[in-house]
A and B are shown apart, each in its own frame.
Chain A
Amino acid sequence: MSEPDRRERGAGMSRGSRRRAVWIALPVATAVALLVLVLATRDSAFERKASSPILGALAPPVAGATITGEPFDLDDWRGRWVIVNFFQSTCVPCIVEHPELVAFDERHNAAGDARIVSVVFDDTVENVREFFAVHGGDWPVLATGAREAAVAYGVTGVPESYLVAPSGVVVWKQLGGVTADGIDDVIAQLTADP
C-alpha cells in the first residue's frame, strides 16, 4: 500500500471514529451538564443549615410533660408569639443566652402576647431543674416528649430557637443564642404596618 493510500484510509477512519465519539459523548455531556446545573443552583451547605424545611410550615408538635410534671401542648398557645428554645444545661452558649430569655419573658409575661417554651435536648431533668433554680426563668420546660420535638424541628445543636407566629406557623429560626431585643425586632418587622 502506498503512503498516500494509507493517509487517505487513516483520515477516513479518524472521521468515523470522531463521529461515533460525538454520538457517545453527546448524552454523557448532556447528563453531566444537567447535574452541574442542578448542583450549582442549590443553596450552599451552610445556607441550608441556617435555613430549615419547617420555616413557613405549621409548627411541629411540642407536647408532653414539663420538668414539673405538668402537661404542655404548644397548640394551647395558638394566638401568641412563641419562642421554642432547645437547650442543654451544660452548654455554655445556653447559659450565656439564658438571661436574654429571662428578659424577654419579663417583658411579655404580663401582656401574655409572647411566651417561651424550652425543650430539653440530650440532658437530664434533674440537671435542668438545677439550671432553672440557679439561673431563673419561670416558663414551661418540656421534658417528656422533648426528643420527639427536637427531631421534628430538625435541631442540630443547642441553643437553637424557633419563633412561632400566632397563626401557628414557624417564621424564624436562630442557630445559637438569641437576644431579647433580637426577638422583639423580628416580631416588630413581621408585624410592621405596610
Chain B
Amino acid sequence: MRGRPSARTIGWIAALLVAAGAFTFGAVDEGPPKTNADRVRALAEDFACPVCAGQSVAESDVPVAREIRRQMAVWVDEGRSDAYIRDQLVAAYDVDIDYNPSGSGVTSLVWILPVLAAGGIAAVVVMMLRSGRSEQAQPAAGSQRRWRNAAVWTVAIVVVAGGAGLLVARSSGSRSAGGSVSGEIRVTSRELIFEAQQRLGTGDMDGAIAAYDEALELQPSSAEALTYRGWLTSRQGDLDTAAEYLDDAIAVDPAYPDARLFRAIVALEQGDGSAAAQELAAFDSLDPPPYAEELLAQSQVRERVAAARDADALAAVDALAALDERPAFSETDMDVPEALAAAEALAGRGDLLEAVQLLDWVLESRPGDPDVLAGRGWLLVRSGDPELLALGVEYLDAVLAADPSNPAGLVYRAFARWQQADIAGARADLEAFDRLDHRPPDLDRLVEDQGLRAAVSS
C-alpha cells in the first residue's frame, strides 16, 4: 500500500492549480469596460426599463429608456462614476430600477438572507460530520497534524494566488497585444475625430467611418462624431441609419448647426420636405458659422427645401380642391405654416386670387389668427395694385394693433410703406423689428435680400 502524499506535494499541486485557474480567469474575463460606449452598454443592462416588463434600459426602445441611455452617455462622458449614476437613477426611479439591489437597508436582506441560509446549512453539515467522526476516534495524531498543516497551506495559497490572479486579470483586461501592463491604450476621441477628418480629406471614407466609430466608442455622446458618422452613412446611401445618427446628435446637442444642416439634407433625400424645412429653420436660428453657410449654399439646401415645401403644400391644396366639398381647415391635417406656404406657392405661380381664397378659408376656422392675417396682407402688398396694396396695409395694421411686436406684421408693413414712399414709417417698423429679441431668420433674410434696410436708411 502506497503512503499518503506529503504536505509539500499537496501544496505544490494546489499552487499549480490555482495559478492555472488565475491565468484562465485572466484570459476569459472581459475585464472592465474598454470604452465609454462599452460602459454605457454595461450600465444600461444593469437597470430595468421603468415602464417595460422584463426589459432592461439597454433592451427597450420606449422613449423613457432612450432618454435614460442618452443621459447615461452624457454622465459617462463627464467622467461620473457608476455609483453616482446608480444613485441618480435610484433617487429618481426608486430601487426597483436597479437590477443589483444595494447592500444597505431592507434591500440588503436580498443579499444577506441567502448567505445566512447557506451558512446555516454549512454549519449544520459540519456539526453532523464532526459528531460522526468523534464517534470513530482515531489514534494517528501525527498524521492528523500533517493533514491540518497541508489544509492551512492550501487555503493560504489559494487566497494569495487567487487574489493576485484577480488583480492581474483586472489590470490587464483592456490591454491589447503589445500594450503596457497598465492597460492604458486610449487615445482621445478628439484625436480620433481629427484622424477621421484627415482620412476624409484623402478620400478614405471607410477609414474615416472606422475612426468615427472608434471615437464614438470612447465618447458615445460626441455630437460631432455622431453627426459626421451620420453624414458619411448618408453618402453611402443608408439614409435611415444616417437619420438615426443625426437624430442622436441633435438630441445630444440641439445647437450644433452641422447636425441640423445634414439632417435637413437627409430629410430632403428621404422625400420629407416638411422635416427638412424644420431642420433648416432650426439651423437658421443657431447663427451658423461661415463654413456651414458655405456648405448650405453649395448644396442649395435652401432652394431645395423651398421647392419641396411648396410642392408638398400645393399637393395638399390640390388634394383638397379635388374633394366635392372642401372640409373646414380645422378638420384637415394642414397647419398654418403649411397653409401659408401653399398660399405663397399659389401666388408664385400667378394664382393670387386662389392664394387669397385659401387664406380666407383658413381664417374661417381661425378668425383673427395674426400669422394668417399677416400672410393675407402680404399677398395683397405684393400684388402691384395700389388699391390692393392699401387693403393689404389695413390687414397689417390690424395685426399690429392686436400685437405690436408681431415680426411678420412689422416687416411686411415696412415693405408696404416703402412702396408707398413712406420711408419714415418703413424705418420705424424696421427699427421695431430690429428691437425684437427673437427675429425669424427668414424675415431677416427677406429684409436683407430685398434691400429694405439700405433703402430706408438712405
- A residues lining the B interface (CB < 8 Å): 20, 23-24, 26-28, 30-32, 34-35, 38, 45, 48-49, 51-54, 60, 68-69, 88, 121-122, 124-127, 130, 133-134, 143-144, 147-148, 150-157
- Which residues of the partner chain B approach A69 to less than 8 Å between Cβ atoms? 437-438
- Of the residues B64, B70, B337, contact of A130 by C-beta under 8 Å: B337
B331 within 8 A of A: no
Cβ contact within 8 Å between A152 and B67: no
B237 within 8 A of A: no
- Which residues of the partner chain A approach B116 to less than 8 Å between Cβ atoms? 27, 30-31
Cβ contact within 8 Å between B66 and A134: no
Cα distance, A124 to B125, chains bound together (Å): 64
Cβ contact within 8 Å between B64 and A157: yes
B405 within 8 A of A: no
B157-190 contacts to A, CB under 8 A, are none
Cβ contact within 8 Å between B66 and A154: no
With contacts A23-B128, A30-B116, A144-B254 known, what are 7 further pairs, Cβ within 8 A?
A24-B121, A31-B114, A124-B278, A147-B74, A150-B67, A151-B92, A154-B94
In the A-B complex, the 4 residue pairs with the smallest Cβ-Cβ separation, listed nearest first, are: A27-B120, A154-B92, A31-B117, A122-B63
B12 within 8 A of A: no
- Which residues of the partner chain A approach B113 to less than 8 Å between Cβ atoms? 31, 34-35
Instruction: Convert B328-344 into 0s and 1s, putting 1 for each residue whose CB lies closer than 8 angstroms to a CB of A.
Output: 00000001110000000
Cβ contact within 8 Å between B92 and A121: no
Specify the main secondary structure of chain A where it touches its partner.
helix
Cα distance, A23 to B121, chains bound together (Å): 8
A-B residue pairs in contact (CB < 8 Å), sample of 5: A35-B113, A51-B94, A126-B281, A126-B282, A156-B93
Cβ of B373 to closest chain A Cβ, rounded Å: 14
- Of the residues A68, A122, A130, A134, contact of B438 by C-beta under 8 Å: A68
Cβ contact within 8 Å between A151 and B120: no
- Which residues of the partner chain B approach A133 to less than 8 Å between Cβ atoms? 336, 371
Cβ contact within 8 Å between A154 and B120: no
Cβ contact within 8 Å between A53 and B92: yes
Q: Known A27-B117, A122-B66; judge A147-B124 contact (CB<8 A).
A: no
- Which residues of the partner chain A approach B255 to less than 8 Å between Cβ atoms? 144
**A41 to chain B: closest residue by CB:** B106
